[in-house]
């Protein structure tokens, strides 16, 4: 896709250009990694995050293979809010 001049008025953009610009604005990561990432999501210490993970309430949001932990941020927050 061609580069869009930032000074271009929105009304001059094609739908394709507008969607491309919108996609780039919402490029927040969907996943966090490790206990440090879980602590970041929950706004707590790493030890508290480990404790919460051990309770099993976030199991549906966590994929773990050995020491590697991947957390779906949105799902983890939904599950945490329910408990």
Element (H, E) at 79: helix 73-82
pLDDT for residue 27: 61
pLDDT in tens, 21-41: 887 776 667 999 999 999 999
Beta carbons of 57 and 80 less than 8 angstroms apart: yes
Q: In terms of DSSP bridges, do strands 31-33 and 68-72 run parallel, antiparallel, or are they unpaired?
A: antiparallel
CA-to-CA distance for 83 and 69, rounded, in angstroms? 21
Q: What is the β-pairing status of strands 31-33 and 62-65?
A: unpaired
pLDDT confidence of residue 70? 96
Instruction: Identify the pLDDT of residue 26.
Output: 65
* 1 pLDDT more than 60: no
Q: pLDDT tens across 31-83, in order?
A: 999 999 999 999 999 999 999 999 999 999 999 999 999 999 999 999 999 98
Q: Output 12 or 4, whichever has higher pLDDT.
A: 12
* DSSP state letter for 60: G
Amino acid 42: pLDDT: 95
């Amino acid at each position: 896709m061609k580069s869009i001049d930032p000074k271009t008025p929105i009304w001059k953009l094609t739908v394709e250009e507008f969607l491309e610009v919108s996609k780039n604005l919402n490029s927040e990561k969907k996943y966090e990694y490790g206990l440090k990432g879980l602590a970041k999501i929950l706004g707590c210490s790493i030890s508290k995050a480990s404790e919460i993970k051990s309770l099993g309430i976030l199991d549906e949001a966590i994929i773990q293979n050995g020491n590697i932990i991947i957390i779906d941020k949105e799902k983890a927050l939904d599950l945490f809010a329910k408990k």
